[in-house]
Amino acid sequence: MRLYIHDISSVSPQADFSEQLNASVENKLKVIETSYEGIPANALRRMGKAVKMSVGSALPLLKKADPLSGIIIGTANGGMEDCIKFMNQIIQFDEGLLTPANFVQSTPNGIAAQLGLSQKNNGYNITHVHRGLSFENAAIDAMMLLSEFPNNTYLLGAADEISTYNYNVDYLDGWYKKENVSNKELYNVDSPASIAGEGAVMLLVSADKKNALAEIKAIQTLHSEDVDYVMQELKTFLAKHLNGEMPEILITGENGDNRFLKFYESAENLMAEKTGVLRFKHMTGEYPTAASQAVSFACKVLQTNTFPQHSIKKKPAQSSFKTILIYNNYKGLQHSFMLVSNRFEN
């Protein structure tokens, strides 16, 4: 199954993956919102944050996609803020006249639906909601479709927002740090939990390698709390897809939570001596579809052969890169491996 990335657009807490690092506020890394040019003002007013981020990211790509065969989105909590607003209105107005916009955008598939409606696209339209593996499952779906319809082009994306409801639930459940920790010091604090993040990433993908930025060569997902089992699966994954070679760079989802550092350190120990290790969640914060930001980061590294100094945990031996392994772990249970490469095979 081939999946080539032809263009990328994103909304994130950072203007770019650069040396300039925007700071978190009260353990939250919120996106830098743009003016969302191209979205009519009357429509923009009614959009929830997750929908705004997604449509704002997608519009530059949709102008280049003609025709677009379908829209595939991964999200865990997209639309949750609007859902809570709608439920509160039921109480506030005693089940009377309610604002329809909050209802329409209160479900996770509101993002894909809004994108489809805005483009009058009647093609394949689906949303994958699998908590910390939502983006990966959306990407696997795109791969399967492209193996069946190799002439098609799809919009593949992921988005999640910091909603008050989800933040409070996760905070009480111990997933966000109790003490105030800057994202600039995230990896220097030895304590459980992480900081909250949000963002949207959109990719224009097809089975045609011509003019592609990169290829997602392989994806594997699994559920386990056993470090040894996860590492054995990673070994098998690398042997199957890299034929005994090692990637030049490993990008990990290390997020400052000392409870799960053992997974990332074990993955680092499996790599070759020359393999570099980069981190990205001090730039994005932790959220279910943050792995999509890692793919965007990997594509930039492959294009430019550069990365910000603050992302380096172990400097790679090489100065140019062809293959990057992304290993992400969500809440110590959901794991994913993704190989991103610009070494296209015939």
Nearest 5 degrees, angle CA 194-CA 324-CA 270?
75
Q: Which of 160, 161, 146 is nearest to 204 (CA)?
A: 146
| Structural domains present in the chain | 4-206 (3.40.47.10), 215-341 (3.40.47.10)
Q: Quote the pTM value.
A: 0.93
pLDDT tens for 203-251 read 999 999 999 999 999 999 999 999 999 999 999 999 999 988 999 999 9
Amino acid 121: pLDDT: 93
Nearest 5 degrees, angle CA 177-CA 277-CA 262?
50
Structure tokens at 11: 């909304």
pLDDT tens for 271-308 read 999 999 999 999 999 999 999 999 999 999 999 999 99
Amino acid 32: pLDDT: 94
Q: Do 195 and 256 touch, CB atoms closer than 8 A?
A: yes
